[in-house]
Structure 1
């Protein structure tokens, strides 16, 4: 206990009996035991409080990370569904395509479509076989 050997404990007990006397020693030992019990209870309470705070901080950290993920997903969804921005981008693409087709192509005569015909198939009558 506290790094003391058996001899040191006996020495402290003998000194306590000499200074306190046999009549005050039992009540003093009870007071010391109550003090150690209250210190132990306080340490256990502080330990439990610290563990609760650690759990709360972990929960808070995970909740903040989920909030950040949801905020990022919401911003991305809003960006993807922003109608005015999409319309502006489509107009830019349309203008680029119109400019490229006007600059690189010259009007040409439309091609005559090729006509494919099939010869009618001759249908043969079904011959009936006599039942034997």
Structure 2
């Protein structure tokens, strides 16, 4: 258990939508497999994240590799009011379809915080490190 305490700053949790953990000043939000991220699921995911971090703000890695599709309404929400508690967003993608959706999110929805897309978790974490408190 000693390694667990050193590795994570806060105990990881799993919700219906996400797995969340805080490590070295970065919040990891790993979306569970879903065919469509709609506005209801997006709101639920944001609420789960806020419940986990409380009043704190963190650079955040959003692993959406298992999300097949997101609605425009969900993307609009996540880019604006859904960004509470996030200083910068790294979006981790894998498939060409998810990559295309992430590009649309970044360039069309224009999130209110610095946001970049990555295919490498290590590169995403390195980029997020500049936004740590």
Give the TM bin, normalised by the shorter chain.
under 0.3
Structure with more helix by fraction: 1
Which protein has greater RCO, CA pairs closer than 8 Å, 6+ apart?
Answer: 2
TM-score by length of 1: 0.17
Q: Which has the larger radius of gyration?
A: 1
